[in-house]
Amino acid sequence: MEVTDLAAVSRARSGDSDAFRLLVEKHSRVIFRVAYRMTGNEHDADDVVQETFLRAYRQLDSFEERANFSTWLHRIAVNCSLDLLRARGRHDKNRTPLTDGRDDEEREVEIASSDPQPDRLLLSAELQKHVAAAMEKLSGNERTAFVLRHFEGMPVEEIGQTLGIQVNAAKHTIFRAVRKLREALEPLVRPNPCNT
């Protein structure tokens, strides 16, 4: 598969836009998922996907063929996401700290389709709010490292490459992220003594 990516990059570099299209088709959904996890907002994630591929196209010459194209693309995507989050932090400081751009009602409707019990719906929506709020408390690096390790299953070495840090530092960044999440969310996951 990686050979295919490299071949497509090589052709795209020589001006073959169809080759670049293959790369977009192969990676866009994964990049959307990463972007959504990073930004917590669907529309922002769509923007990040566009920007990621645009930057990738413009920087194709800087891609080293011994590197992994997917890792390289992830790096661009997280940088785009961090740029966006920084911009959002500057311009939207008073924004309610959440979530994916949808209001509670929308969330509840979405959950309702998979689980019809009303009290469960409210609980799920509430939990998601807490999770989103906890994620927003992570620093850019922590968030990136956590998203790539937890959701994308990226090896620590590649996370280190993506963030431009050593492997041990990447491991420690993941740990810090988990600790912050634990601090914020542990009260929600404690086993109920009445049920035990």
Partner 1 sequence: MQHMTEEQLVAHYYHDDDAPAAAASHLLECAECRAQYETIRRVLTLVGDAPVPERGEQYAGEVWTRLRWKLGARKRRAQWTSFVAAAAVLAIAFFAGVWWHMRVAPPPPAERAAVGGGATSIQPVAATRQAQDRVLLVVVGDHLESSERMLAELANANPKKDFDVSSGRAADLVASNRMYRQTAATRGDQRIAALLSDLEPILVELSHAGKTLSPDELAAIQKRIESKQLLTKVRVMTAQPAPPTNSNSL
**71 in contact with partner 1 (CB under 8 A):** no
What x-and-dash track marks residues 87-126 binding partner 1 by CB under 8 A?
-------------x---------x----------------
The C-alpha atoms of residue 182 and residue 19 are separated, in whole angstroms, by 44
Binds partner 1 (CB under 8 A): choice among 3, 14, 58, 113: 58
- Residue 90 or 119 with smaller CB distance to partner 1: 119
Residue with tokens 């689980």: 115
Contact 185, 134 (CB under 8 A): yes
Q: How would you class 110 by CB atoms within 10 Å of its CB: exposed for 0-12, middle for 13-18, buried for 19 or more?
A: middle
Contact 151, 33 (CB under 8 A): yes
The residue type at 189: V
Q: Which residues bind partner 1 (CB under 8 A)?
A: 17, 20-21, 24-26, 28-29, 32-33, 36-37, 42, 49-50, 53-54, 57-58, 100, 110, 127-128, 131-132, 134-135, 149-151, 156, 171-172, 174-175, 178-179, 181-182, 185-186, 188-190
